[in-house]
Amino acid sequence: MVWLIGSKGMLASEIAAQLNQHNIQWIGSDREVDITDKAAVEAFIQQNFSSGSLQWIINCAAYTAVDKAEDDHAMAQKLNADALINICTATKHYGATLIHFSTDYVFDGSSSIPYIETDSTNPQSVYGRTKLQGEQNIIELLPEHYIIRTAWLYGKSGNNFVSTMLRLMNEKDNLKVVNDQRGSPTYAIDLAKAVLQIIQLDNHRYGIYHYSNEGNITWYDFACEIYRQGKRMGLIKKDCSIEPCTSSEFPQKAHRPSFSLLNKQKMKETFPLSIPQWDESLTSYLKGVTQNAQF
């Protein structure tokens, strides 16, 4: 049985759908369970799982407001780092296995080739530093773990870059999008399928893994493809010009890595799985948006 933490979030919603599809029993929790409180974590497990039934804990909870974290270090630290001590303690006590999600923000973006799991970390933001501390807490406390670093996540639930672009492209005549941050998006359904593969194989190949869709683009490239496909599918009703710009034209509190491509070879070889190209996954997402718009 699975405990899905942060179950109402974008990624967790897709993981829940995969678990349901494959008849894997799970119980979810969200903000009603304070994972920064050791007693609350223990009480939830005691109340919801019979002895020996808890096999997996999937932690999708995080403080993800990247810019807000710069002024709210204490809460980011509690959710992204300190809570992992409680989760790891419970995972170990009940003999479960942890799947936890981290971020490309643990890197500083100075590389010119895709980051592998063993590359040196050097986070440049409160968000990145607290997520890295969470990783380190897991590694120190719990051998049976999978840490999956991902990037540029988008999906059906909640606001994300794709939904924001679709809205703005229908409202504005022109948009500027940064063209000096390079990476690859991650479609939440694709990552959820990878999580299911880990659970089903259960091959005990613990450690850190990287996952995003295949490709090498900037946010400007991403926006142009959203516009192209969105127009073709009838999701964008008007013309909108998209112009490239630099990050300095849109100053933000938190530093973003200028290069955050993740090398997925370890993930593909270990589990194994096929990772879709970013533009193919965008098509899948937009088809879902089109279908929902028809009802």
β-pair type (145-150, 207-210): parallel
Instruction: Quickly state the pLDDT bin for 263 (edges 50, 70, 90).
Output: very high
Give the distance between the most distant pair of CA atoms in the chain.
59
Give the model's pLDDT for residue 158: 78
* In the predicted structure, residue 47 carries a pLDDT above the cut 70: yes
Give the model's pLDDT for residue 291: 81
Give the model's pLDDT for residue 292: 77
Element (H, E) at 216: none
* In the predicted structure, residue 194 carries a pLDDT above the cut 70: yes
With a pLDDT cut of 70, the percent of the chain lying above it is: 99
Give the model's pLDDT for residue 159: 84
Give the model's pLDDT for residue 251: 87
Nearest by Cα to 270 from 209, 221, 222, 192: 209
- Give 173's contacts (C-beta < 8 A, 6+ positions apart): 238, 239, 240, 241
* In the predicted structure, residue 290 carries a pLDDT above the cut 90: no
Give the model's pLDDT for residue 268: 96
**Structure tokens that stand for 109 in this block:** 């973006």
Q: Is 127 a catalytic residue?
A: yes
With a pLDDT cut of 90, the percent of the chain lying above it is: 95
Q: Length of the chain, please?
A: 295
Whole-prediction pTM value? 0.96
Q: Residue 42: is it exposed, middle or buried by C-beta count within 10 angstroms (0-12/13-18/19+)? A: middle
The mean predicted confidence, pLDDT, of the chain is 96
Q: Please state, in angstroms and rounded to a whole number, the distance separating the CA atoms of residues 286 and 283.
A: 5
**Structure tokens that stand for 176 in this block:** 């500027």
Answer whether CATH 3.20.20.10 is correct for domain 2-159+185-215+260-276: no
Instruction: Quickly state the pLDDT bin for 89 (edges 50, 70, 90).
Output: very high
| Separation in Å, CA 86 to CA 39, 64, 134, 141, 180 | 9, 19, 11, 10, 38
* In the predicted structure, residue 294 carries a pLDDT above the cut 80: no
Nearest by Cα to 138 from 191, 89, 196: 89
Catalytic residue, from 127, 146, 211, 285: name it.
Answer: 127
Q: Say what angle helices 161-171 and 278-293 make with each other, to 10 degrees.
A: 60
Sequence spans of domains, the chain: 2-159+185-215+260-276
Give the model's pLDDT for residue 250: 86
Give the model's pLDDT for residue 295: 36
Higher pLDDT, 101 or 295: 101
Instruction: Quickly state the pLDDT bin for 61 (edges 50, 70, 90).
Output: very high
Collapse the DSSP code of 98 into the 3-class scheme (helix H, G, I; strand E, B; otherwise coil) and give the result.
Answer: strand
User: What is the per-residue DSSP string for 36-62?
Assistant: T-HHHHHHHHHHH--TT---EEEE---
**Structure tokens that stand for 149 in this block:** 């670093």
Element (H, E) at 273: none
- Give 263's contacts (C-beta < 8 A, 6+ positions apart): 113, 114, 115, 116, 117, 210
HSE at residue 64, side-chain half, CA atoms within 13 A, is 19
